[in-house]
Amino acid sequence: MKGLSVLSRAKVNLFLEVTGRRPDGYHDLLTLFARINLADSLTLRPSAKPGIRLSVVNKSNFVPIPQEKNLAWRAADAFYRGFRLEPALDIRLVKRIPAGAGLGGGSSNAAAVLEGLSRLHRRRSPADRRRLARLAAGLGSDVPFFLAGSVFCEGRGRGEKLKALALKPGRHTLVLYFPGFQVPTPGVYAALERPGPAAVSVSRRDYRRLIKAMFSGAGPAAWAPLMRNRLEDPVLPARPAIARARARLSAAGAAGAMMSGSGSTVFAAAGSRAEAARLARALKPCKGMVFLAEFA
């Protein structure tokens, strides 16, 4: 059996509202996922040796952890357990997506491993796809989005209830700024003051307007000002570096600048590559990493 290589793309959240608290302790969300072309790469090679081995090539801010805690390894382990197969696999992961950045890098790695192994082991029937979806949901709230294979998805529940959307964002380039530190997601939700019904109602209205603008084929000037992220409420006052980068992008003329997910990445949408380069120059005083990307 030959190995295969797969891309593992990042995401941004173009909209994120917290609509309630669930009995299981998680929060109900309304979010718009958008996959982008900033990507890690994974190579999956069947091995003569039993077990799962993971090696990581760090081209970002990856901090080594025991392989059993890495989502790529955990996804492989879940696949072999879920399909009752004996594992014998080597995984090579090249990390380019910053970790702990609100870009879904680990979740994307997990989905890429599940998808890749389903191809390697020819588990492609409708029943197999349903099993893969259950495995993805068990690995993390964002993993189902990456497994879905759509560029844009509306997410509800914990983010795992998905509806693919054929949006037309128009000509665009995204500017992403990672400040070099992580923002732990549990702490963000713990510090969040739950929005009232009136605030959620306003957000739902803005979400409908955002979707309408992105269906129209209009560029970022039409839809970027409608982006929202409720998780900015606890993060921006506590993390001045994130707030400053967001403010610099806005002051430089970005139609919309916002934090992705629970942070720490801030991004803006530009109508051209030249405009994106100009916005990126506005971030020069900020320490960190800047990327240009597109939806993909």
Q: What is the average per-residue pLDDT within 193-217?
A: 94
Of the CA atoms within 13 Å of residue 123, those in its CB half-sphere come to: 20
- Supply the pTM of this predicted model: 0.95
- The pLDDT, as a whole number, for residue 62 is 84
- pLDDT above 90 for 25: no
Q: Choosing from 24, 95, 142, 168, which is the catalytic residue?
A: 142
* Residue range 118-134, pLDDT digits in tens: 999 999 999 999 999 99
- d(C-alpha 73, C-alpha 68), whole Å: 6
In the residue annotation, 142 being an active-site residue is answered as: yes
- pLDDT above 80 for 14: yes
Q: Choosing from 11, 40, 77, 95, which is the catalytic residue?
A: 11
Closest CA to 33 of 61, 56, 10: 10
- The pLDDT, as a whole number, for residue 211 is 98
* Residue range 152-180, pLDDT digits in tens: 999 999 999 999 999 999 999 999 999 99
- The pLDDT, as a whole number, for residue 22 is 85
* Residue range 81-119, pLDDT digits in tens: 999 999 999 999 999 999 999 999 999 999 999 999 999
Q: What is the average per-residue pLDDT within 199-224?
A: 96
Banded model confidence at residue 23, pLDDT cuts 50, 70, 90: confident
In the residue annotation, 11 being an active-site residue is answered as: yes
- The pLDDT, as a whole number, for residue 90 is 99
Specify whether the CB–CB gap between 191 and 238 falls below 8 A: yes
- pLDDT above 80 for 222: yes
Domains and CATH numbers, the chain: 4-164 (3.30.230.10), 173-293 (3.30.70.890)
Q: What is the average per-residue pLDDT within 140-151?
A: 98
* Residue range 227-259, pLDDT digits in tens: 999 999 999 999 999 999 999 999 999 999 999
- Look at the chain and count its residues: 296
- The pLDDT, as a whole number, for residue 170 is 94
- E runs forming strands in the chain: 4-21, 27-46, 51-58, 88-95, 152-157, 161-164, 173-178, 228-229, 257-259, 266-270, 289-293
Q: Which two tokens stand for residue 68?
A: 């059993």
